[in-house]
Structure formats: structure tokens, C-alpha cells
Amino acid sequence: MSMANQPMPRLTLVSHALCPYVQRAAIVLAEKGAQFDRRTIDLANKPGWFLAVSPLGKTPVLLVGEEPDRTPVFESAVICEYLEDTIAPRLHPLDALERARHRSWMEFGSAILNTIAAFYNAPDDQALEARRLELAAKFTQVEAMLSRGPYFSGESFSVVDAVFGPVFRYFDTFDSIRDFTVFTATPKVRVWREALGQRPSVRNAVTQDYPEKLVLFLKGRNSALSGLISA
Ligand SMILES: N[C@@H](CCC(=O)N[C@@H](CS)C(=O)NCC(=O)O)C(=O)O
């Protein structure tokens, strides 16, 4: 339901099958019980209509309203804020400082996504190991932020959880390639990962063939990790 008790405009999430930033928007929409359509594009072959609504040429874009009054909202964090502003229930904390802390850790989640990309693109074993250690170090920083769980701030699911669901999803596939022991020293993160892996909004943010699609994508990187998959 909209915050102002008005009917929600039509929402279309322009998506890419593997994009973790799309997933965070899809999770927030699902947590709010919002109706939305999904339009999936191929980022390797961006259609003209997509470039017209995506100034940075990136997914996600949330199209709000109907043509000709449709407004494209781009950047996942901005999309999440728009959804927070317009659709109940609120997922961010009410306290301003606590909300700022959540937004800070959302940024940290994006930094982890960059390290994940560096990990799966690492050209050789040495670089792969350096990135693995960097990931483990980043999750040690996250560990220090977690309290009683199971979610980032306890019992209630918040937008930070929507950011980390897609982060942890990568490790389901990485684990099937080799035990990279990224979470050995972070028991609270392990509990959080488990809880997010069971959350319906997180599970349903991707299609069933996501794992196969991710493996195909990783194989195609021509990286050290691609070599481990083929071996
Ligand atoms: N800061 C952006 C990042 C989005 C992003 O990097 N999307 C990737 C796919 S996961 C993309 O569209 N890449 C295509 C490109 O850069 O050409 C956000 O939070 O929405």
C-alpha cells in the first residue's frame, strides 16, 4: 500500500538476470508486497529503449508510471529510497543516526560486490588468493557490526539485508567450485547468510536457473576462477 493511501503507480523493474543491484530493488519491492513487472535485458547488447531510460547504461532502472508520464529512476540506492518514501512498511530504522548507519553499511555491501568482481576476474592464482583474503577481511569488519541476529539489526529485515542477500548468493556458487573458507572466522556473518538464504524475498529475487547462468558467466571470464570451474 502507498504511504499516502493512494494507488501506487505502475512499477517496472528493468533487470539483468545476474545483476546484484537489481536483486536488492526486487527484494525491497517483495518485502513491501508491491506489484511490479520485470523487464529483463541483455547488458551485452543494450537495446535503444533501455539506453533512453538509463543515463548510465546500467541496471536497475525503475520505471514509475505509464507512458507518456513514465519516470525512470536509476541507481539501486535511489530506487530503494524512493520505495521507502512511497510504500509501507518502512524497512529503514526510524532513528536518523541508525538509518545513516544502515546506509553506510549498504555502501559497504557495494564495496564487497566490487571485491567479488575483482575475485572472479582475478587473472592468476596469486591475485585470486589476494582477493579471497580481502573478502575475508571485509566480512571480519561486517562481523563486528552484527549483534544478536539473525538480520543486520536483529529480528527485523531492513534494506541492508536486501543488499547482503545478493552478496551472499555469489558464495553459494563459489562454494560449489571450492571451499574458499571466506567465513571461517565470522560466525555471526554465517548465521546472517543462512537467514537471508531462507528469506522468500531473497530466494525469489532471481530465476531458478540463476546458478547455471552464473557458472556460465564465471566460466567466460577467462580468469583463475574460470580455470577452477573447468578443471
Ligand atoms: N551503482 C549502480 C551499479 C549498477 C551496476 O553496476 N549494474 C551493472 C550490472 S550488475 C550494469 O548495468 N553494468 C553494465 C555496464 O556498466 O555497462 C547501482 O547501484 O544501481
Question: pLDDT digit string (tens) for 115-134?
Answer: 999 999 999 999 999 999 99
CA-based torsion, 193, 195, 198, 202: positive or negative? negative
Listed in sequence order, the residues at least 6 apart from 100 whose beta carbon sits closer than 8 Å to its beta carbon are none
In this predicted structure, what is the pLDDT of residue 229? Answer: 96
Quote the pLDDT of residue 231.
77
List pLDDT tens digits, range 83-107: 999 999 999 999 999 999 999 999 9
- Kindly list the catalytic residues: 19
pLDDT of residue 8: 86
21, 23, 61, 75: which to mutate for ligand 1, most atoms within 8 A of CB? 21
Q: What is the pLDDT of residue 1?
A: 59
118 CA from centroid of ligand 1 (Å): 15
Backbone φ/ψ region at 33: left (φ over 0), alpha (ψ -120 to 50), beta? left
* Average pLDDT over every residue of 219-223: 97
Rounded to 10 degrees, what is the CA torsion of 215, 59, 79, 99? 50
User: What average pLDDT does the segment 21-41 reach?
Assistant: 98
Distance 185 CA to ligand 1 centre (A): 31
150-182 pLDDT, tens digit per residue, is 999 999 999 999 999 999 999 999 999 999 999
Which pLDDT does position 4 carry in this prediction?
A: 66
Cβ of 170 closer than 6 Å to ligand 1, yes or no, is: no
**What is the average per-residue pLDDT within 146-153?**
94
Q: What is the pLDDT of residues 2-24, one digit of tens each?
A: 776 678 899 999 999 999 999 99
Q: Can you tell me which atom of ligand 1 is nearest the CA of 46? A: 17
183 lines ligand 1 (CB under 6 A): no
The pLDDT, as a whole number, for residue 7 is: 81
Dist CA 140 CA 20 (whole Å): 21
Q: Which atom of ligand 1 is nearest to the CA of 43?
A: 14
Domains contained in the chain, CATH given = 11-86 (3.40.30.10), 96-230 (1.20.1050.10)
Residue 76 has pLDDT above 80, yes or no: yes
What average pLDDT does the structure give for the chain? 96
Q: pTM above 0.75?
A: yes
pLDDT tens digit sequence for 172-210: 999 999 999 999 999 999 999 999 999 999 999 999 999
